[in-house]
Amino acid sequence: MFRENKRFAAIKPFSKKKNQIKNLSNLEKKLFFSYNEV
């Protein structure tokens, strides 16, 4: 969780999606973050 919060701080344009992301499953979160790292 701590790592994810750091990422949210670094990805401010995605802050609006933060609540949306909270509702995703762990697998979906991993896919979302790996996609944005590319």
* Cβ contact 34:26 at 8 Å: no
pLDDT score recorded for residue 30: 78
pLDDT score recorded for residue 19: 62
pLDDT score recorded for residue 33: 74
pLDDT score recorded for residue 11: 61
- CA-CA distance, 21 to 25, in Å (whole number)? 8
Summarised one tens digit per residue, pLDDT across range 1-38 is 556 666 666 666 655 666 666 666 777 777 777 766 65
Domains of the chain by residue range: 2-37
Phi, psi of 37 (to 5 degrees): -80, -25
Residue 25 region by backbone torsions, left for phi larger than 0, else alpha for psi between -120 and 50, else beta: beta
